Structure 1
């Protein structure tokens, strides 16, 4: 059987781009997301284009029981995952902490931290047993620094950075690789979700400069995974040329 890559948040953006590049390189895929229709459409296209096998998991990573039940339904031969890409994540709102919506905080913590942990807990034992595997966690520039009104989102991505470093240590005796990718501004559905469907406001985030694209981050994930076994890329901080950090951009004046 070909190697298996499991990708969360695979229905759009970075997750979909990762599915494309790993399928192109012959990996069978476990595609996980909440939007079954999008997963089904993506699965059919990738299967037809690359002749790979695909399992779909309609799952909300915030829901521990949903994660466990979907994992338990997988055929045994699919549970030995070679590459796990923890991509599912989101940001909600952009308010100072004294105006923050508590429900938004809960959703970010439940998805970005607990969801990553739930999925990892299912997959890692098989990697440990095989003494082989690679975990790619999708972090953010928000996990390396903070910016105004980013508060809880930044905190969750700092947690992803810390968990990645901890995974690296815990899995060191088992030859399981761990990489965290920290993108800057990537034009995906990220800002539409952050602004709760306000596409006009989301579009303004990327005006005046060329942001990263989902494929740029997928390329980085593939680069890390395709290194020789003795090479581990611990982390990458990936920015658009026009972005120095979370605050400073070189934008064309309108």
Structure 2
């Protein structure tokens, strides 16, 4: 039996990297999409070039997304699983002093990037009347918090899109799922705080946060359920977290 093929965006680090690793370990072949070519090459070295096909592009660039996916070799085109993981947070400021460039980056990557990639992959799934899309949202897409305004809005959009996509695609045999993590220690906060490693590290001090492998385990469980089972939506938090801004730090 041919190996199943999964496309993972944001595969060069964090949740995307961990998901690619676990999918390959489970027997999948993975199309690893990301902006950093050197990191994608490291992933290939770890998992083997027979198991990983690198696609270097920025999800914000719809022409690059189209060219990359349209240019896949025939043996890599039968994508059965799409993990829309690429996303980011930039800045943490009240709306009145927010940076417009930060707003653009979050909306372009978290919302438009997800749409661009999905648009390219869906015809492949619809033709076969089978497929599974997993969108990585956030607890910030379920409840807003101070200074999170546009980031929260972008993840609320992911939640709405996931629900709407599930309705639109139910007659096409395509599953749509959503994973909404709470505090996960990755490069997330380092990006949000413009490379300030000390400030980023402080976010996760005083409690045990989730790690990328925790989210990857959940994704793997979701995509390996029987054909008639779709785990539509999951919120996953560290035990110390009860809500977006309620964390038991000691």
Q: How does 1:31-180 map to 2 (within 5 A)?
A: 31-47=32-48, 52-180=50-178
Task: Verify: 1:9 aligned to 2:10, yes or no.
Answer: yes
Q: Distance in 1 between matches of 2:125 and 2:249?
A: 44
Distance 1:126 1:72 in 2: 11
Match of 1:217 in 2: 215
Secondary structure, aligned partner of 1:244: strand
Q: TM-score, normalised to structure 1's length?
A: 0.96
Cα distance in 2 between the residues matched to 1:93 and 1:242: 24
In structure 2, C-alpha distance between the alignment counterparts of 1:221 and 1:104, rounded to whole Å: 28
Distance 1:79 1:159 in 2: 28
TM-score by length of 2: 0.98
- CA distance, structure 1, for counterparts of residue 230 and residue 215 of structure 2: 17
The question of whether the paired residues in 2 share the 8 Å contact of 1:79 and 1:123 is answered with no
What's the C-alpha RMSD, in Å, of the aligned pairs? 0.9
Once the two structures are superposed, what CA deviation does each residue of 1:197-226 show, in whole Å capped at 9, x if it has no partner? 000000000010000000000011011111
Give the ranges of 4+ consecutive aligned residues of structure 1 lying more than 4 Å apart after TM superposition.
Answer: none
Which is richer in strand? 2
How far did 1:53 drift? 2.6
Matched pairs, number: 249
Q: Which runs of 5+ in 2 are unaligned?
A: none
Does the CA-based 8 Å contact 2:59-2:116 persist in structure 1? yes
How far apart, in 1, do the equivalents of 2:14 and 2:81 lie? Answer: 18
SS class of match (2:185) = coil
Contact 2:24 2:51 in 1 (8 A): no
